[in-house]
Amino acid sequence: MKDIITQMKDTSELMLDLAFSTILFEEDYFAEEVLELEEKMTELCFKAREVIIQASKGIKEVESLSAVLQIIQAAEKVSNAAVEIATIELRDIGLPKAFFKTIHLIEETITSLIVPENSAAIGKRLEYIEKETGMQIITMKRDGQWLIKPDGKITLKAGDRLIAKGPFEALSNFEVFVLGKHVMIPSISELMEPDSQRRIREMLVEMMNLSQLSVDLAYSSTIFYNKEIAEEVLKVEEKMNCMQETVEHEILLFAKVTDNVKLLRGLLRLAWALETITDASVEMAKVVLSGVALHPIFVSAMGESDEVISKIEVKPNSKLDGLTVAECGLQSDMGIQIVTIRKALTGKWEYYPKGDTKIEAGDVLIIKGSKEAIDSLISLTATESAPNESGEV
């Protein structure tokens, strides 16, 4: 059961990464891979339901396992939304070209690089490159063949193409390590796009950020059984719903100045899929808000996933106390994404804090990253790996 839940979380998140990669890099292969993973997800969902039915004994256990089932169904909805995003490219529906040049505006960025002949990364293991740069290599292409979730012990060769994701702050480290230089990002003014298209693009980029944030917060609320974080998911959904209505209105206005029907369909489909992801996140959060206790096996499974979510409280005079997000190096050096910070002074949550945000004693950080990176952070400050009743560290 634990293994099935872990696989479902990892598979749905990989599908989302590949779906975004499909539209950002216009790669049909990623879309086809998403469709194959959909079959795996369907099989995992069936097995999970079967195991839950067989394991249910007594009213309390039935309630806790039914809550797990609701989260599983929400993860399946996320994977379905990933399929919708992927088929934008596969069915040649299309998106504006300018959209592909603004990936750096997404909080958890995705990049594509080809290893040059003189790269210092040649001969280095993928796991070493990930540790040094803070970026996670989700897929690579070698000799015409794509490798999904490549083994960390693979060593790089010239000509390898890498698709990696991670905090935007870690992107320059990755580029310098692999390419020997930082790639200049085109300014928005260079895109020469109509105002109506610019407004749509900006809203869709923000919706991509919100959809990812909602998933991170939803899993965080369940792992730490924290109703305060679960409430934040509902706030994100409310904002997403407003943006969905606005972007639909803008797309219809855009229809007056373009005859490219495929473009309009792509924009509408992307907006719908992003809202679906947020709706699925709300279903996860509502498990916590309902007060039904989650089965212990769920939290255990989350600790075994590829990307671990954890929570730390900053202690007075600790290594993080007094540093800014940029200075602490969690994102740029360790590849640990700070999803949100609850400031001790105001008690409010700040989503995806900027580099100049100051970390202070009493602040609570929700973070995510590889298990290895999170374990490294434990040596710097106390880290909570399991929830308690209050959801506090």
Tens digits of residue pLDDT in 271-301: 999 999 999 999 999 999 998 888 777 777 7
Locate CATH 1.20.58.220 in the chain.
Answer: 2-96+193-298
**What is the reported pLDDT for 105?**
60
Instruction: Give me the DSSP letters along 124-193.
Output: -BHHHHHHHH--EEEEEEETTEEEES--TTPBP-TT-EEEEEEEHHHHHHHHHHHHSSPPPPPPGGGG--
Enter the CATH code of domain 306-378. 3.30.70.1450
- Model pLDDT, residue 147: 84
**Over 90: is that where the pLDDT of 115 sits?**
yes
| pLDDT tops 50 at residue 383 | no
Q: What is the pLDDT, as a whole number, of residue 26? A: 75
pLDDT band at 117 (very low <50, low <70, confident <90, very high): very high
- What CATH number belongs to 2-96+193-298? 1.20.58.220
CA angle 75, 81, 86 (to 5 degrees): 130
- Residue 333, classed as helix, strand or coil, is coil
pLDDT tens digit sequence for 68-104:
889 999 999 999 999 999 888 777 776 777 666 665 5
Q: 242 CB contacts (<8 Å, ≥6 apart)?
A: none
Question: Higher model confidence: residue 182 or residue 373?
Answer: 373
For domain 102-179, give the CATH number.
3.30.70.1450
pLDDT at residue 367 above 70? Answer: yes
pLDDT tens digits for range 216-267: 899 888 888 889 889 999 999 999 999 999 999 998 888 888 777 777 888 8
DSSP state of 26: T
Residues of the chain with CATH 3.30.70.1450: 102-179, 306-378
Q: Which tens digit of pLDDT belongs to each residue from 18-45?
A: 888 887 777 788 888 899 889 989 998 8
